[in-house]
Amino acid sequence: ARAVLDPLPAYAPLEDKAPGWALEDAAAERLRAARVAEVDYVQAVRAALETAPDLPEARAHLTAWYRRRLLAAEAAGDADAAAEQIALLRSHDPEGSTEWLRGDGRVTLITDPPGAAVRLFCYTEVQRRLVPTPIGDLPPTPLVDHPLPMGSYALELAMPGRLTVTCPVLIERQGHWQGIAPGEQHPHAIWMPPCHAIGDGMAYV
pLDDT in the model for residue 105: 96
**Amino acid letter for position 137:** D
With CA atoms as reference, report the closest residue to 111 among 157, 42, 170, 148. 157
> Dihedral angle at the C-alpha atoms of 25, 29, 35, 36, nearest 10 degrees?
150
Pairing mode of beta strands 190-191, 111-112: parallel
- Backbone phi and psi for residue 42, each to the nearest 5 degrees, phi listed first: -65, -40
pLDDT in the model for residue 205: 63
- Mean pLDDT for 45-50 is 86
- CA Rg value for the chain: 24
Helix axes 56-75, 14-51, angle to 10 degrees: 150
As a three-state string, the secondary structure of 122-172 is EEEEECCEEEEEEEEEECCCCEEEEEECCEEEEEEEECCCECCEEEEEEEC
> 14-36 as b/e, with b when 16 or more CB fall inside 10 Å?
eeeeeebeeeeeeeeeeeeeeee
Domains in the chain, please, with CATH?
Answer: 2-101 (no CATH), 103-191 (2.60.40)
Tell me the CB-side half-sphere exposure of residue 81, using CA atoms within 13 A.
13
Whether the CA torsion 152, 123, 203, 113 is positive or negative: it is negative
- pLDDT band at 203, cuts 50/70/90? low
What confidence tens digit (pLDDT) does each residue in 141-193 have?
999 999 999 999 999 999 999 999 999 999 999 999 998 888 888 888 999 99
- Backbone phi and psi for residue 25, each to the nearest 5 degrees, phi listed first: -65, -40
The span from the CA of 188 to the CA of 41, in Å, is 44
Model pTM greater than 0.85? no
Whether 42 shows a pLDDT value over 70: the answer reads yes
